[in-house]
Structure 1
């Protein structure tokens, strides 16, 4: 059993309010009719265990959650990123959560990495009665 609570009737969003994709997707999730919980990783401490669980749920390495092309990352780690170990990547996300590459949504037991605000649309419910969700 993981440390992140899973609820099939709720969407949980892990995002950074310090980037535009995170802000846009957060706005979409707030307008969703589905119960939701937004975790702004820039303001809420996400533990290494939680980061590891998110990466595992996405079937990715922890390093894949970090925006390695971000100027802050390049300034600090540049060429040395090959020398970083799993614990180093966890510390980067814990200490510099704005380096989260993409927001992560948990929908029931599904983990979804959202690369754009448009990618969240398929999880939203229709706004008007009688309209079918495509």
Structure 2
């Protein structure tokens, strides 16, 4: 059993308020009129177990959650490939939450990575491009 609560009636958003997309997504979720829980990783500590569960739910590794193309990452680690273990990647997310590559939404048992604010609208609107599942 996972540590992240999953409720098909609730939207859970993991995001960083240190980037504009995160701020926009939070505004969309807050104004959606749907039951929600928003977790700003810049202000709330996300445990290693939670990060592992988020990565697993997305079918990714923890390293894939980190934006290695971000200027702050490149300033710290350069342009070469960085080989860290999971603990190293977790420390990056903990110390620099702005390096979270994309916001993550959980609805029921579905984990969705959002790359833009419009992704949320498409995900929640059953009449959109068909990338989401309609929820009732």
Do these two structures clear the TM 0.5 threshold for a shared fold by scoring above it?
A: yes
Equivalent residues of 2:18, 2:97 under 8 A apart:
no
Q: Which residue of 2 aligns with 1:106?
A: 106
Q: Note if contact 1:15-1:39 (Cα within 8 Å) is conserved in structure 2.
A: yes
* In 2: Cα distance, 1:59 partner to 1:32 partner: 27
- What displacement does 1:57 show? 0.2
Does the aligned pair in 1 maintain the 2:67–2:100 contact within 8 Å? yes
Conserved 8 A contact 1:21-1:117: yes
The answer for the alignment partner of 1:39 in structure 2 is 39
The answer as to whether partners of 1:16 and 1:103 remain within 8 angstroms in 2 is yes
Secondary structure in 2 aligned to 1:63? helix
- State how far apart, in whole Å, the 1-side matches of 2:80 and 2:122 are: 38
> Within the alignment, does 1:66 sit opposite 2:101 as a pair?
no
Is the 1:15–1:103 Cα contact (8 Å) retained in structure 2?
yes
Task: Quote how far apart the aligned CAs of 1:81 are.
Answer: 4.2
CA-CA distance at 1:86 after TM superposition: 1.6
Q: How far is the alpha carbon of 1:82 from its aligned partner?
A: 2.8
Gaps of 5+ in 2: 128-136
Distance, in Å, in 1 between the alignment partners of 2:71 and 2:104 is 21
Aligned pair count reads: 127
Q: So what's the TM-score if we normalise by structure 1?
A: 0.89
Alignment of 1:3-14 (within 5 A): 3-14=3-14
Shift of 1:80: 5.3
- Give deviations 1:44-92, integer Å, cap 9, x for gaps: 0001111111000000011110011111111111245432122111111
Q: Which segments of structure 1 move beyond 2 Å, counting only runs of 4 or more?
A: 79-83, 122-125
Q: Retained in 2: the 8 A contact 1:14–1:104?
A: yes
Map Cα deviations across residues 91-111 of structure 1 (whole Å, 9 max, x no partner): 111121111011000011100
Within 2, Cα distance between the matches of 1:8 and 1:84?
35
